Amino acid sequence: MKRVVLERLWRLKEAIAALQKALCIIEDKESVISRKGGSILYSLSIAPNKDAVLREKELLLKELSGKQREFLKTRIELERQISKVNDQYVRLALSLHYVDLLTWKQAARIIGGNCTDRALQQLIARYISSEEKEESMGLDSS
């Protein structure tokens, strides 16, 4: 399992958050349009075009929906891959950080004991490194 694959869910989460923020901005534009003359934007004659705003919103909603579907598919695939990890401690750390999208500090608190965020990061880094070595050795010997 490669770090790039593991971090894909985090990237999708960030992309979805950015799209949701953009959607809020568009909804603000919509509210300006619906208020018409009482708005400062209207008095300055730079009011947003209603059709353009609706098209922008439609495209954004379509993209957001696609990212959300991709997020769910990626999460399912990641859970499947993580479930194959033999070490239950590594499996738990991977699930908490890469599937549940908790920070390393939050994951360490859940695991408890003397676990620290740094220790979890090192554990996962060693695991990924060993997996990549095994993978490259497997490819070299074939």
pLDDT in tens, 83-113: 999 999 999 999 999 999 999 999 999 999 8
Kindly state the DSSP code that residue 133 receives in the 8-state scheme.
Answer: H
pTM here?
0.76
For range 33-51, the mean pLDDT: 59
Give the span between the Cα atoms of 129 and 137, in whole angstroms. Answer: 12
E strands, 3-136, are none
Give the span between the Cα atoms of 112 and 36, in whole angstroms. Answer: 56
- Residue 37: both structure tokens together: 């003359």
Q: Among residues of the chain, what percentage have pLDDT more than 90?
A: 64
